[in-house]
Structure 1
């Protein structure tokens, strides 16, 4: 082992519920970190299927596949389908290992069981857990996405109650929040100052007292802050081996449904977005992500949705004669029916 690899490498774990903005935050880190060799590991959800692996890329050119890729800026990038421990070992074994490793977890992952991996004998003396960074969708919290919202209930009451339910969505959200050393309150541009203050007060009811809260929009947080959390309590990764699978709420991915639906070429952008919003609203779809071809357009339309909020852009050219069938991933709670979603998207499309 070289002297460089013998030095403990700080590792940051980025967690957050579906659509909170984790990948945007990761992309911001890669595009703005300078003078440091950072490795980005994206934990893809293998249950979605290989045909949509493009959905899990960090957004930097060349960052794809289950392998370590060197990026033009000297950083490293890779995706993993399940256990990130083998990739972490491979990164540490490089002749020139990274100075910092950042791991983005799946939106349905519980951070505490994942942290147990750092207590493995193969890495525990080679890494230190710099901190857990939890990304929150401020608008979703304020809107009652993580709790019930009676029609006449005030925003303040909704936010305060949003953390006291037992359904899988809220339980995962609470677990991710309670493990945080740093909380990135993202999408604050969608709320007014009073709304942001209300959300922060509600967060404080669940978050660790020492956790710092940063307000952000589009995941724009100084990488020097993100990579310098310095959570002293996590200096010994071996401490995580004490966590048991029964600690706190544990919900398997079986509590959720994920479908990849092929959609035909669309006649208009507006019509397709309206359709997606209507389907998400009717069937309580948590997360929508994918692309479609649009008549008269040479680029594919990429769409991302959190509930009924959607963003879109034309992101990639479609080769002449290429397949113009689109792929849409939809994620919801148990009971969501693939056939119903397919009929709603394909028959109406």
Structure 2
């Protein structure tokens, strides 16, 4: 919401408008409950200590983005099984504003014409796009509960070993997202690595360019309490 509101600044508003707000959702991560708390666990904690504040920054940010969206791209639907797609669609319908379009995609493939010409003029419609805190009558605040840092390594001799360390590190430290490129010794192409929660994908995407430095750089995204030193040590092996 703060980003869209910025388009109301006079020096910006007279030049551009927000045609529409598009939010992309990882359907498989949503089906696995990655954006919500374990309600049973929270109930037990509240029973033990009613003063606990269980604000979930991931779920809050997720709801804020859905509340502001004119269109939701539900990606990775090919990974859903059985009735998961119906469940994901139902969950999203309960969180978006009336009239918001849900578009199912695979591998992010969508005609660009479907994204343009929405004509929502979103910056003039912010009263209908209230954030999580605004709906509860609280003051708006920045989502500063997340941190991002880069782990840099040299060439990797053992591809499988690194991928195994990545999987174990994600599980041990509740990393939300990990992505980057790996230089594998003896390979002419760079290895692209992407992880959302426990799901890890890796494939060679393109050859290293002449003169390009062969190095490994992994971007780690998670909540601010993460132990950066421990994560770096685990990935380095």
TM-score w.r.t. the length of structure 1 is 0.57
Match of 1:11 in 2: none
Match of 1:126 in 2: 15
Distance 1:125 1:239, change over 3 A: farther
Q: Which runs of 5+ in 2 are unaligned?
A: 41-53
Match of 1:292 in 2: 182
Measured in 1, the distance between the counterparts of 2:83 and 2:130 equals: 39
Q: Which runs of 5+ in 1 are unaligned?
A: 1-111, 152-164
Match of 1:328 in 2: 218
The count of aligned residue pairs is 220
Measured in 2, the distance between the counterparts of 1:171 and 1:269 equals: 36
Match of 2:165 in 1: 275
Distance 1:267 1:251, change over 3 A: farther
Match of 2:43 in 1: none
SS of aligned partner of 2:134: coil
Q: 1:209 aligns with which of 72, 93, 98?
A: 98
Measured in 2, the distance between the counterparts of 1:242 and 1:200 equals: 21
Query: Which deviates the most, 300-309 or 280-289?
Result: 300-309
Distance 1:176 1:243, change over 3 A: closer
> Quick check: 1:255 aligned with 2:145?
yes
Measured in 1, the distance between the counterparts of 2:187 and 2:31 equals: 37
RMSD: 2.8
Shift of 1:223: 1.5
Match of 1:113 in 2: 2
Match of 1:196 in 2: 85
- Contact 1:303–1:312 at 8 Å: present in 2 too? yes
Q: 1:178 aligns with which of 67, 90, 107?
A: 67
- Contact 1:292–1:302 at 8 Å: present in 2 too? yes
Distance 1:338 1:230, change over 3 A: same
Shift of 1:287: 0.8
SS of aligned partner of 1:127: coil
Match of 1:343 in 2: 233
Match of 1:147 in 2: 36
Match of 2:44 in 1: none
Match of 2:45 in 1: none
Measured in 1, the distance between the counterparts of 2:211 and 2:64 equals: 47
SS of aligned partner of 1:128: coil
Q: 2:204 aligns with which of 295, 305, 314?
A: 314
